A and B are shown apart, each in its own frame.
Chain A
Amino acid sequence: MAPNAEPGPRPATLDVTTPEGTVLPFVQAGLFDRLAALAIDQLLILVVTVLLLLLVIFVFVPTLGVHALSFFLFTNFVLRNAYFPFFEMRGGGSTPGKRMLRLRVISRDGGALQPEQVMVRNLTREFEMFIPLTVLSAPRALFPDLPPWAALLCSLWMLVGALFPVFQRRRLRLGDLLGGTTVVSMPRVELLRDLAGEPTPQSSIGRVEQDYAFSSVQLDQYGIDELQVLEDLLRDEGGVDREKTLTAVMRKIEAKIDWDGPTNDFRAQEFLSAFYRQLRRHLEQKALFGVRQQHKRTGRLRRGGRGSG
């Protein structure tokens, strides 16, 4: 019913149990986030390389002569190979690109990310990235001596390494597999206003609750899923067609719980806030007594009776 209900199946998680016995579900990063982070990092490397090249051409070549070339080659080698390990060790598992997309490398066993793990996971990068790129751009260059069919087979085999993350749920690269690491997505969640905490500013708690007092039979119609969808809806204050959506949702709830009190299209926000608050109280209380009602009941309440089904 709400536009921003959580779509599809839940993403793969890595459950880390803390020494205190609490399970922390780390969400595996998606392929496209990782590709984007990689692109940003490569772009940074490219920019630094170009700057370095300019520096070499305009400063070092006049002073050092031919040695400038080897200086450039060596620095470039270090830059290409040390960039990822350096930032992943220093930045708590994030390169600048990963940081922008809120990705982090963690150890798959949930413990501390060791420097060794970082070194190993970045060792295969060249193999995973440049060989497949060569395969795609110039397949004949890689195996010049082989007959075409054999070259094709070999090229496909080379691609397997790069496509490894596509084929499993955890999206592990070969390097992740070797290093015992994985990349997780950690979007920043802000602590928002408690919708059931302080009363809504425009009306005192008493009045709203008096206007909208739902019976426990009525509240029984909905479960935790609907409560949280409603939470998303109420928090989504800048949503498109908000008034319309709120009114539509209000009408739906009214019909389902057979509400006969006064309602007004312009008061949808008030109605839904009150409903949210009371539903949450109701469900939390039920949960305390061991009944976690996850879903809504089917059908509608009939006047003076219980819901069917």
Chain B
Amino acid sequence: MADARFELRSATFRRERQASWRELEELLARIEASGLEVLSHDELTQLPLLYRSAVGSLSVARAISLDRNVVQYLTGLAQRAHLALYSGRRRPLEGVARFFRSRFPALVRSFRIPFAIALASLLAGVLVGFRLTQRSPEHYYHFVDERMAQGRTPASTTASLRAVLYTDKSNPTTGMLDTFATFLFDHNARIGITCLALGFAGGVPVILLLFSNGLTLGAMAALYASRGLGSEFWAWILPHGVTELLAVVLCGTAGLAFGAAILMPGPLARLDRLRTRGRDAGLLVLGAVPMFFIAALFESFFRTLVQDPEARWTAACVAAAAWAWYFARGPRGAER
């Protein structure tokens, strides 16, 4: 047995290093409480050095020390320091702003194919619904369910159909517009998120959902067109519809992309594919949520306050142009 009076090698090691561990621990406690910004310039330059020394100590301790407490302590310390150093703490608002400034439009551009499929499903629904209802008005009852129709059926008079398009400003419910907008928003945002969730079933329900929404819209348009109100109907729908339908299509795009990641993982493992593609799909829905909000505001305020069909058409065109500009602008190669 070696001479017992000499200090253990691991004890010496600990005695020499522990001051720097304590120092790092103190810095970390402050960072975790109130962010990297609270450190002074000197402390900030100290931090990586202390971190590297702690990680080094951990390696050494694992090799030479059988003191479990020291190894556990150093592991925790190194982990905390690692997270503090390598998670560039961004301000939440800044991150959100960056996302909408560049990442979201770029993301939409990168999903061109599923976007085209989603848009095509919706438009196909509109066309089919329109043609079928035009040919035989009874089809209207298949495409538009009662709750949605709210009395607008082929049996209604032209005057009552027209009345829906133009609100009487003296109507006492006008005061509740903002409440109406909030309800609409909540409702629509949920539909969008459902679209993403449906992606789990391989994307087929997404196409169906878009198509059937299209059918409803098409059938209604056909009904109004048959009374010579076609243009006025679109003027009523489109100012908010441009934004809302675009957001629905984007959610559908996300659902499709998600489904595609499950069905066709390509060269990657399914989980890895889901991770990269799924994250992007989720972000797409996230970007669509404020669009629903904007649409809901338009739907309840603009529609009631502006009655002139021409002004409504102008607004619809402006909205379409604005979205086209937003999604198409920006350097295409620059983003990651």
Do A209 and B285 touch across chains, with their CB atoms under 8 A apart? no
Interface size bucket, A side?
Answer: 35 or more
Of the residues A120, A124, A227, contact of B66 by C-beta under 8 Å: A227
CB of B5 within 8 A of CB of A24, answer: no
Taking a contact as CB atoms under 8 Å apart, the answer to whether B178 and A70 are in contact is yes
A157 to B79, CA, bound (A): 38
- Asked if A216 contacts B1 (CB within 8 A), the reply is yes
- For residue B80, CB closer than 8 A to chain A, the reply is yes
Could you tell me which residues of chain B, from 275 to 332, have a CB within 8 Å of some CB in chain A? 275-276, 278-279, 281-283, 285-286
**Which of these, B179, B181, B274, contacts A66 with CB under 8 Å?**
B179
Contacts of A108 in B (CB 8 A): 275
Say yes or no: is A197 at the interface (Cβ < 8 Å to chain B): yes
Which of B8-16, B160-168, B238-246 interfaces with chain A?
A: B8-16
Question: Judging by beta carbons under 8 Å apart, are A86 and B92 in contact?
Answer: yes
The 9 closest A-B pairs by CB, nearest first: A115-B95, A120-B282, A70-B178, A178-B278, A89-B92, A73-B182, A197-B11, A70-B179, A209-B4
A198-229 to B contact mask, C-beta < 8 Å, 1/0: 00000001100100011110010000100110
A interface residue numbers (CB < 8 A to B): 16, 18, 20, 22, 24-26, 65-67, 69-70, 73-74, 77, 85-86, 89-90, 92-93, 104, 106-108, 111-117, 119-120, 123-124, 126-127, 161, 177-180, 186-192, 194-197, 205-206, 209, 213-216, 219, 224, 227-228, 231-232, 235, 277-278, 280-285, 287-288
Q: For B76, list chain A residues within 8 Å (CB).
A: 186-189
8 A Cβ contacts from B1-39 to A: 1-2, 4-5, 7-11, 14-15, 18, 21-22, 25, 32, 35
Q: How far is the CA of A119 from the CA of B186 in the complex (A)?
A: 18
Are A67 and B178 touching (Cβ within 8 A)? Answer: yes
Residues of B within 8 A of A67 (CB): 178-179
8 A Cβ contacts from B173-223 to A: 175-176, 178-179, 181-183, 185-186, 190, 193-194, 196-197, 200
| Bound form: Cα–Cα A278–B8 in Å | 9
CB distance from A242 to the nearest CB of B (A): 18
Answer yes or no: B67 CB below 8 A from chain A CBs: yes
Give the distance to chain B from A24, nearest Cβ to Cβ, in Å: 5
| Residues of chain B contacted by A73 (CB below 8 angstroms) | 179, 182-183, 186
* Chain B residues close to A by CB (< 8 Å): 1-2, 4-5, 7-11, 14-15, 18, 21-22, 25, 32, 35, 52, 55-56, 58-59, 63-70, 72-73, 75-76, 78-80, 82-84, 86-92, 95-96, 98-99, 103, 175-176, 178-179, 181-183, 185-186, 190, 193-194, 196-197, 200, 271, 274-276, 278-279, 281-283, 285-286
Specify the main secondary structure of chain B where it touches its partner: helix
> For the complex, what is the distance from the CA of A26 to the CA of B21, rounded to whole Å?
19
Q: Report how far A224 CA is from B285 CA in the complex, Å.
A: 53
- Do A116 and B283 have beta carbons less than 8 Å apart? yes
Chosen A-B contacts, 17 in total, with CB atoms closer than 8 Å, are A22-B56, A22-B59, A93-B87, A187-B76, A189-B76, A191-B25, A194-B15, A196-B10, A196-B11, A213-B1, A219-B1, A231-B68, A231-B69, A232-B68, A284-B8, A287-B63, A288-B9
With both beta carbons as reference points, the residue of chain B lying nearest to A20 in the complex is identified as: B55
Asked whether A24 and B79 contact (CB < 8 A) given A115-B99, A119-B286, A214-B1, the answer is yes
Known: A178-B279, A284-B64. 14 other contacts (CB 8 A): A16-B82, A67-B179, A70-B181, A112-B86, A112-B88, A113-B87, A115-B95, A161-B197, A180-B275, A189-B69, A194-B70, A231-B67, A282-B1, A287-B64
Chain A residues within an 8 Å CB radius of B276: 180
Q: How far is the CA of A187 from the CA of B96 in the complex (A)?
A: 31
Residues of B contacting A178 with CB < 8 Å?
Answer: 274-275, 278-279, 281-282
Q: Which chain A residues border B1 with CB–CB below 8 Å?
A: 213-216, 219, 278, 282
B282 & A123 in contact (Cβ 8 Å cutoff): yes
